[in-house]
Structure 1
Amino acid sequence: MTRLAYGMQLPIQSQSTIYAESWEAGADVADLAEVARAADRSGFDYVACCDHVGIPRRLADAMSTTWYDPVATLSFLAGVTERVRLLTHVAVVGLRHPLLSAKQYATLDHLSGGRLILGVGAGHVQEEFEALGVDFARRGAVLDESVDALKAALGPEEFPSHKGELFAFEGLGQRPRPAQRRVPVWVGGSSAPAVRRAALKGDGWLPQGDPRDRLPEQIATLRRLRAEAGIEAPLTIGAITETLYVGVPGWEVGRRTVSGAPDAVAESLRAYAAMGVHQIQVRFRSRSRAELVDQIEAFGAEVAPQLS
């Protein structure tokens, strides 16, 4: 079995009631930086940041309106970490012209020394699209072409070019170039169109909360679609795990949380690798920044070595 990579969606930068812990509401930039540094020194492959421009009132109670900008946030975190990669999970790239996104993400990759992973998704908040003048009904088609345009604009050429139905550019030089010769593009989403997009256009797949029992079928579909298209390049297949707590919790962490001794947690997670998953995104239950940092460090020291 090869090594199962692991990363995490950062707390604080997005605070949907689906997953945010109560302490995050009062957290600040120092807390965010310390969590990222803990992941960095604990061997995490990436830290991730979400993307929303604005949350309508009808969704604000559930989603909250706290969503940090991914480019600004990951650029800041690049400066306080050393090796951990920086993932957008996911950037709603259809909300912005791809040449503008390319300028931002090329600069981020350059400043971070080549640590960017560009995760992209179609988006789901109609009011965001309407406010920015983007056709919500065609967001899938917009994303498809945006991926093609971004791949061209984030390549090695100083004067990239792209000509499509929605976007066209050429003869416009952009420096700095990304530090990576090829920025990986991971496609998010679990719907049939999203899985097809990941298979045909992505370097990786970021599922959106698929339960364990659904993953084998999704992975088989990804492999079939790539094989039918004659794509031989490897695809990094991801999974979002159940919420974790390393050790025996002395408080109620929820019945769907995987908890216990490090070897038991590791055994549970190795099942993902057996399905064909290459990287897992983990999230820990916590009551404070200190407890979260302790969980990150325990995972890196005691669980991660057992994931291969």
Structure 2
Amino acid sequence: MQLPVQSQSTLYTEPWEAGAGPEDLLAVARAAERAGFAYLASCDHVGIPRRLAATMSTVWYDPVATLAYLAAATDRVRLLSHVAIVALRHPLLTAKQYATLDHLSAGRLVLGVGAGHVPEEFEALGVDFRRRGALLDESLDALRAALGPEEYPEHHGTFHAFSGLGQRPRPAQPAVPLWVGGSSPAAVRRAALRGDGWLPQGDPRERLPAQLDRIRELRERAGLDGPFTAGAITEPLYVGTPRWEVGRRTLTGPADALAASLRAYRAMGVDQVQVRFRSRDRSELTDQIAAFGAEVGPLISEE
């Protein structure tokens, strides 16, 4: 699941999150780990322009700091940047931050990356927004080198070049998974050819099969047969029968009904689903997480 509180876009934030803080993040992270969730995700924006603030808000915690904070309070759950806008930063800086996070968390990092969509962010940081796709492509190559096993990584590209600079600590994992976010044709192609996984951004169920077919086609054509994790973001969920208005798009009901609905993603070829629960306060959210883990999760893998 993506963590609440740490990003507060009006597209998905619950009203109670406006007054929430670190203790709420900790409670949710610990609840998710107890419930057997695969990962916790944190978003990335450096600054939000005034023209977008009414919709996006300006609350966007730094993902490295947030995930490192939660790493110390958890033991098993993986830590995902969903997604880091790596084109905004030099890949050696990104590698230093995330290699340290992986080292400190005993190898629990999944580095999700995306192209970004806010021109003002790029302008303020001196990065050409129009070249963000090419920058991201090269950043993926550079990060593969910089997050690999070599103490002195090397990369020579159009935008970045480095060699002879040692970086320790190294990641605890032999290879940090790189998942690519985005649902545009360019993002899907980038995920298929340069990523270890795909993080769609808002694709409805009916669009996913064609996207997944495209990824498989691109990978087969390129001769890529290594591990690849395809994801999906589900509709909002509420385990049980809500006694308040949760919205017409929210999936509600008993555990078996929710599990049957979510098993449809597996039938499409999806490997992991990211869930979000409707809630009126932290307690209701952690109760929903616990109920999902105890009642729905075990049924998802059933035929």
Scaled to the shorter chain, the TM-score interval is: over 0.9
Q: 1:262 aligns with which of 247, 255, 265?
A: 255
Deviation for aligned residue 1:28: 1.3
Task: Report the secondary structure of 1:180's partner residue.
Answer: coil
Match status 1:165 vs 2:165: no
> What do residues 154-178 of structure 1 show as CA deviations (whole Å, max 9, x unaligned)?
0000000000011000000000000
Match status 1:246 vs 2:239: yes
Structure 2 equivalent of residue 273 of structure 1 = 266
Match status 1:287 vs 2:280: yes
| Structure 1 moving runs of 4+ over 2 Å | none
Q: 1:189-208 to 2 correspondence within 5 Å?
A: 189-208=182-201
Over the aligned positions, Cα root-mean-square deviation in angstroms equals 0.4
Structure 2 equivalent of residue 4 of structure 1 = none
Aligned residue identity for 2:79: L
Deviation for aligned residue 1:132: 0.3
Aligned residue identity for 2:80: L
Task: Report the secondary structure of 1:165's partner residue.
Answer: coil
Q: 1:152 aligns with which of 145, 169, 172?
A: 145
Structure 2 equivalent of residue 3 of structure 1 = none
Structure 1 equivalent of residue 126 of structure 2 = 133
Question: Which whole-Å CA distance do the structure 2 matches of 1:166 and 1:26 have between them?
Answer: 41
TM value normalised by structure 1? 0.97
> What do residues 147-205 of structure 1 show as CA deviations (whole Å, max 9, x unaligned)?
00001000000000000011000000000000000000000000000000000000000
Q: 1:56 aligns with which of 18, 38, 49?
A: 49
Aligned residue identity for 1:116: L
The structure, 1 or 2, with the larger RCO (C-alpha pairs under 8 Å, 6+ apart) is 1
Question: Which whole-Å CA distance do the structure 1 matches of 2:264 and 2:74 have between them?
Answer: 30
Structure 1: stretches of 5+ with no match in the other structure: 1-7
Q: 2:22 aligns with which of 25, 29, 34?
A: 29
Match status 1:42 vs 2:14: no
Question: Which whole-Å CA distance do the structure 2 matches of 1:83 and 1:235 have between them?
Answer: 21
Aligned residue identity for 1:253: V
Structure 1 equivalent of residue 290 of structure 2 = 297
Task: Report the secondary structure of 1:242's partner residue.
Answer: coil
Task: Report the secondary structure of 2:27's partner residue.
Answer: helix
Structure 2 equivalent of residue 86 of structure 1 = 79
TM value normalised by structure 2? 0.99
Identity between Structure 1 and Structure 2 (%): 74
Deviation for aligned residue 1:234: 2.2
Structure 2: stretches of 5+ with no match in the other structure: none
Question: Which whole-Å CA distance do the structure 1 matches of 2:32 and 2:155 have between them?
Answer: 37
